Amino acid sequence: MATGIVSTALAEHGATAPSAVLLWIAAAGYAVLWAGYLWRLVFRWQDVRTDLAGPRGFAFLTIVASSDVLAGRLAVDRHYVAAAALTVVGATGWLVLGYGVPMLLISSGRGVSLRQVNGTWFIWVVGTQSVVVATAALAPHTWGRALAVLASVCWAVGLVQYLLVAALALARLLLEPVEPTELVPPYWVFMGAAAISVLAGARLLRIPAADTLLPGTFVLGVSAVAWSFCTWLIPLLLALGVWRHVLHRVPLHYETSLWSMVFPVGMYGVASRELGEAAGWDWMAATGAGEAWVALAVWSAVFAGMLASPLTALQHSRNRGQQK
């Protein structure tokens, strides 16, 4: 997800070489992701079933989002057959998991407390809007009206999902105690879900109005509202990061949840650029173009941390051994 959208941001900016490198990394990561999921399905099915029926279940929709984001990136290079195949995978996963995870949560009989709600629930929204991003990219080239209608429906559904999850997430933050260690990285998806809703709206605006279900003025207006809210969230999330790492001195080290920060930064850049171009707002398009390099810098920092993490863990292990 994160690598694919940063690659898209660079491709749209004309940075072909770094975009291509990230595309290959994204493709390799996608293959590894699938291998890991298949291994768990075969050898750890009970763990998978428990996770699906618990508060972490929505995280499985990363399968949907990663498929569709990669499809959208391939469509930029006009690899439409591969993009269509990935879109089918993403749309199928969205149907299965988009309904399956909430159904399992409801039918499990255990329920979920407000304290268990977390930022990963926004991946439900991200998965839905990623279907819009992929199908809208393919609509001008195949199954135009059918894909346009599907994109319109998914965009509307994703907006409602966002409002529902945002209400739960806000209630969780305001009504339950929040530990510094559990805050910030996953909650960046709060902003990422809004950003991909903006991108999905911008992609809808590319489709001929006669093929979509929603008036262009409505899509543009709602997308502008979502972009404004998304932009407003950035200083808040940065302030929460200061609260976490400076005031409460939570160590800043590599953790997989940091990738949930990279994705929103890259998505914000692409969304700003495409909405600005669709609406004729040059200043917004320029903001998105500059954001591509910010996203690359954040991606590089997290990727470097990931590569260094085994060495850091080994060093800590040696230090503990020497202390004994």
Number of domains in the chain: 1
Q: How confident is the model at residue 251 (pLDDT cuts 50, 70, 90)?
A: confident
Over 70: is that where the pLDDT of 2 sits? yes
Residues 267-321 pLDDT 10s: 999 999 999 999 999 999 999 999 999 999 999 999 998 988 777 655 655 555 5
**311 lies in a domain?**
no
Q: Which residues contact 235 (CB under 8 A, 6 or more apart)?
A: none
**147 lies in a domain?**
yes
Eight-state DSSP code of residue 119: G
Distance CA 133, CA 146 (A): 15
3-class state of residue 121 by DSSP = helix
DSSP 1-68: -HHHHHHHHHHHHT-HHHHHHHHHHHHHHHHHHHHHHHHHHHH-HHHHHHHHTSTTGGGGGHHHHHHH
**204 lies in a domain?**
yes
Burial grade of 79 (CB within 10 A; 0-12, 13-18, 19 or more)? middle
Q: Which domain holds residue 125?
A: 2-306
Q: How confident is the model at residue 71 (pLDDT cuts 50, 70, 90)?
A: very high
**214 lies in a domain?**
yes
Distance CA 227, CA 204 (A): 15
Distance CA 281, CA 69 (A): 25
Q: How many CB atoms lie under 10 A from the CB of residue 16?
A: 11
Domain containing residue 238: CATH number: 1.50.10.150
**318 lies in a domain?**
no
Closest residue by Cα to residue 199 from 299, 291, 102, 293: 291
Distance CA 70, CA 291 (A): 19
Both structure tokens of 124 = 């439900």
Q: How many CB atoms lie under 10 A from the CB of residue 99?
A: 10
Q: How many residues does the chain have?
A: 324
Residues 90-122 pLDDT 10s: 999 999 999 999 998 888 777 778 888 888 899
**146 lies in a domain?**
yes
**322 lies in a domain?**
no
Q: How confident is the model at residue 127 (pLDDT cuts 50, 70, 90)?
A: very high
**319 lies in a domain?**
no
Q: Which residues contact 276 (CB under 8 A, 6 or more apart)?
A: 282, 283, 284, 285, 286, 287, 288
